[in-house]
Amino acid sequence: MAIDRKYIFDKANFFLKKENKFFTSSELHLAIGVDAFRRVSQDLEFPKSNYSSVLASGVYTLAMPSDFVKVDKTKDVVFTDSSRTRNLPPRDQRRIGRDQILTATPGNPTNYFMEDQTTIGVYPPSTSGIIVVPYVQQATSLSSDSATNQLTDKAYMAATYWVVAECMLKDNDARFDTYAKLYTGEILRLRKELGELYEETKDFYPDAEYTRR
């Protein structure tokens, strides 16, 4: 049986015993369908994908896709120009200096940084090349009772515990700590399981054709 939003909703209500005061049914559906799985994706660092884009000369920022949660730190951000491919280690933009970022002469990027929560920056700005950013995706939102996503089958209990804990936190319910610990325990279990089962994406580097353009 596929685990869908309705199954998780019913499971959460069972634990809550329909006593939560601060969440209506529609708000609980939203918390399950969007917020819970965004949090689970972030804590599991799963699912994963790669985003690639050409950076024109002088451009130093790249807006990430709408399903971006965070950079996947288990892999390297890679930049390729017409001569070679290089890994870009992360660096805090405050250590680079904002003025330095804005006035740097375009060249071969040596670092990436977070411009904001959903935008990647490179330093110095590119003279032209392609960047590949490995990232953690937000699991697909559950917009209907029958909806499923990449995590519903394996991580439905984590999502359930998170939603129940959130409701109890708002209700000032003493059981909050219990469900927060259940959520943490489920995340630790899933990390081990997914680490054993998940095959990392192979298409990490840009197409070799790019270097011959």
Q: What is the per-residue pLDDT across 29-49, written as a single tens digit (0 to 9) for each?
A: 999 999 999 999 999 999 999
Domain hosting 119: range is 48-137
pLDDT at residue 201, rounded to an integer: 43
Do 58 and 133 share a domain, yes or no? yes
Do 82 and 187 share a domain, yes or no? no
Do 184 and 133 share a domain, yes or no? no
Domain boundary among 100, 117, 137: 137
Arithmetic mean of pLDDT, 8-21: 82
The alpha-helical segments, DSSP class H, found in the chain are: 5-16, 25-30, 37-44, 93-96, 98-103, 152-170, 176-197
Do 74 and 118 share a domain, yes or no? yes
Do 83 and 66 share a domain, yes or no? yes
Domain boundary among 115, 137, 159: 137
Do 24 and 84 share a domain, yes or no? no
The fraction of the chain above a pLDDT of 90, given in percent, is: 66
Arithmetic mean of pLDDT, 160-180: 91
Arithmetic mean of pLDDT, 85-109: 92
pLDDT at residue 194, rounded to an integer: 81
Residue showing tokens 């740097």: 104
